[in-house]
Amino acid sequence: MTNTRPNAALVLFSGGQDSATCVAWALSQYARVETIGFDYGQRHSVELTVRPTVLQQLRAQSADWDRKLGQDHMIDLGLLGKISDTALTQDVAIAMQDNGLPNTFVPGRNLLFMMVAATVAYRRGLDVLVGGMCETDFSGYPDCRDDSMKALQVALNLGMATRLKIDTPLMWLDKRQTWQLAQQLGGPKLVDLIRSETHTCYLGQRGTLHDWGYGCGTCPACELRARGYRQFVQASIA
């Protein structure tokens, strides 16, 4: 792969809180940033509809971010939804499985996302992949672990003869710290953008704007986001 510019990043951007924070983080770190999203038949496909607005408003945060933020790529991975039987791809109740993992876990999802992103990065001359995987505040997904991402980085570079780097800026942050990172990156304006425009709710509900954002308020994703936001606000007041 021939890089057109060093420190050029491709961010996995779903439309949610974590990935939006990752886009902002990448814009503060790299000279050129592109984004990629995946339509895999997710139950909460509303997350895809908010992506253009979030990207537009990220551009409006500063002239520097507007200059750095490049092309957005939307990839159809409907095959993943067809071969998955999970609470994120089927209309079933969220529950724990016998193997100790929640049924919101989509096997192979992040691995496939990274593989496809690496292929796009290869073609676009981008040398860094940025993802919002996290071991601290997560649902027990094995493909969110730091070891998984490190092993995948090795496999991708061996298989493609590249020197891609996988960056996971949220890996060791809880949700309160993720809100704090947004505050550090873009101040109250960015925090309000993430609160009011991104989507995280597993059930795809976007009818009520809570203090922490839109969502059903009861699914695991909403509970994490709400708890983290309220801890962030309390810490800001203290």
Residue 5 has a pLDDT of 44
Q: Tokens 């992040």 — which residue?
A: 110
- 9-23 tens-digit pLDDT: 999 999 999 999 999
Rounded to two decimals, what is the model's pTM?
Answer: 0.90
Residue 42 has a pLDDT of 81
- 119-140 tens-digit pLDDT: 999 999 999 999 999 988 666 7
3-state class of 6 per DSSP? coil
Among the listed residues 47, 46, 45, 54, the one whose alpha carbon sits nearest the alpha carbon of residue 72: 54
* Domains and their CATH numbers in the chain: 8-194 (3.40.50.620)
Among the listed residues 94, 100, 87, 86, the one whose alpha carbon sits nearest the alpha carbon of residue 140: 100
Which amino acid, residue 135? E
Contacts of 1 (CB under 8 A, 6+ apart): 121, 122, 125, 127, 160, 161, 162
- 84-112 tens-digit pLDDT: 666 455 555 555 566 565 656 666 788 88
β-partners of residue 213 are 210
**Residue ranges of the chain with per-residue pLDDT less than 50:** 1-5, 87
DSSP state of 149: H
